[in-house]
Amino acid sequence: MTVRQSIVFNGDLGSGKSTVSVEIAKRLGMRRVSVGDLYRQMAQERQMTALQLNLHAELDQAVDGYVDQLQRDIAASGERLVMDSRLAWHFFTDALKVHMITEPGEAARRVLLRPSGPAESYTSMEEAKAKLKERSESERGRFIVRYGVDKARLRNYDLICDTTRASAEEVIEHIVDAYEGRLCPDVLRDAPPLLLLDPARVYPTEDIAALRDLWDTEFVGDVAAAGDEALEPLRIGYTGEYFFVVDGHRRLSAALQNGFRLVPARLVAEVDEPVVGGLSAIDYFTAQVRPSLIHDWEAAHKIELPLPEHALLGEGAVLAGEPGAGS
């Protein structure tokens, strides 16, 4: 079993990376370093909000320069540690690089619930969602311009973990198992990233009526007995906003029927990468995922999936063309 030196966490506010990284550091007996804490301290010293400091950093390279050098020095030291930083994955080589994601509304809810300081505070869910998105996009643009790297690209990481519904303990157990080589080591070794996704946020790409054996009680029972970590990884595409099934509808359905909050998956194609027949992930998703398909999957599994923009437009066009529409 090969254990990497460090674990580095990236993720936007509300993704749970602070909670998870603190507990993992305790469990593994490793020192934890938080660049977010450093940024908040710098913002307070300048009497700025965290967002204002991010926007200021776009103009003043000294802000990032100081933090970057600190991370380079830590990475070069060879110390085995847990690093909570939105850019540590860029500076560390021998580390498990974990990217944590969550549904934007859930992220905003979490941020509103926690104590706020002068560096960041929000008065409503709408303001929190808007400011969190603005801050994330500010960072993303700055990293692309300054370092030539895109923090939103999943292939920058070893492990993607969706924390929308999973408990902190579930997330911690899965990450430790991945770090210690017990969870999908072949994916992590040969074809990272390993995705740990909330099955209730993954879109189907086939009509449920055409899928066989979704309700095979023996298979669903076997999946329940084995647990989510034993599930053969799904094959998944990613548009940059939405995850969708390329192969594994039966396993995804069993996970939903069993109430799993995480399922393992391989990333087949991301954004402009081809899925099949020359279709990119975005084009494949647009072509396959229709309102009726989503509605049928939702009804069968008692979940809710937001209609993507292309599906909303398509649904509007159908409604407009129906007999009597507009009369």
Q: Residue 38's domain is classified under what CATH number?
A: 3.40.50.300
Position 69 scores a pLDDT of 79
Q: Do 222 and 156 belong to one domain?
A: no
Contact 100/15 with Cβ under 8 angstroms? yes
Q: Which residue range(s) make up the domain with 314?
A: 198-321
Q: Confirm whether 186 is domain-assigned.
A: no
Q: For residues 308 and 242, give the distance between their C-alpha atoms in angstroms, rounded to a whole number.
A: 8
Q: Confirm whether 256 is domain-assigned.
A: yes
Positive or negative CA dihedral for 286, 287, 291, 297?
negative
CATH code: domain of residue 210: 3.90.1530.30
**Residue type present at position 214:** L
Q: Do 143 and 213 belong to one domain?
A: no
Position 39 scores a pLDDT of 66
Q: Is 2 exposed, middle or buried (0-12, 13-18, 19+ CB in 10 A)?
A: exposed
Position 139 scores a pLDDT of 84
Q: Confirm whether 112 is domain-assigned.
A: yes
Q: For residues 217 and 186, give the distance between their C-alpha atoms in angstroms, rounded to a whole number.
A: 29
User: 238: part of which helix (H) or strand (E)?
Assistant: strand 234-238
Q: Do 156 and 10 belong to one domain?
A: yes
Q: For residues 58 and 61, give the distance between their C-alpha atoms in angstroms, rounded to a whole number.
A: 7
Q: Confirm whether 168 is domain-assigned.
A: no
Query: Could you say which of 108, 133, 160 is where a domain stops?
Result: 160
Comparing CA positions, the residue from 93, 95, 86, 39 lying closest to residue 66 is: 39
Q: Confirm whether 33 is domain-assigned.
A: yes
**Residue type present at position 32:** R
Spatial CB neighbours of 248, under 8 Å, sequence gap ≥ 6: 232, 233, 234, 235, 236, 265
Contact 204/243 with Cβ under 8 angstroms? no
Position 59 scores a pLDDT of 59
Q: Confirm whether 175 is domain-assigned.
A: no
Q: For residues 261 and 163, give the distance between their C-alpha atoms in angstroms, rounded to a whole number.
A: 9
- Residue 187: CB atoms within 10 A of its CB come to 20
How many structural domains is the chain composed of? Answer: 2
Q: Confirm whether 184 is domain-assigned.
A: no
Whether the model pTM is above 0.85: yes
Q: Confirm whether 179 is domain-assigned.
A: no
Residue-wise pLDDT tens for the chain (327 aa)? Answer: 455 689 999 998 899 999 999 999 999 999 998 877 776 677 776 777 766 766 666 656 676 677 787 788 888 888 899 999 888 999 998 899 999 999 999 999 998 887 765 446 788 899 999 988 988 998 899 889 888 999 999 999 999 999 999 999 999 999 999 999 999 999 999 999 999 999 999 999 999 988 988 999 999 999 999 999 999 999 999 999 999 999 999 999 999 999 999 999 999 999 999 998 889 999 999 999 999 999 999 999 999 999 999 988 766 544 444 443 332
Position 53 scores a pLDDT of 63
CA 73 to chain centre: 28
Position 4 scores a pLDDT of 64
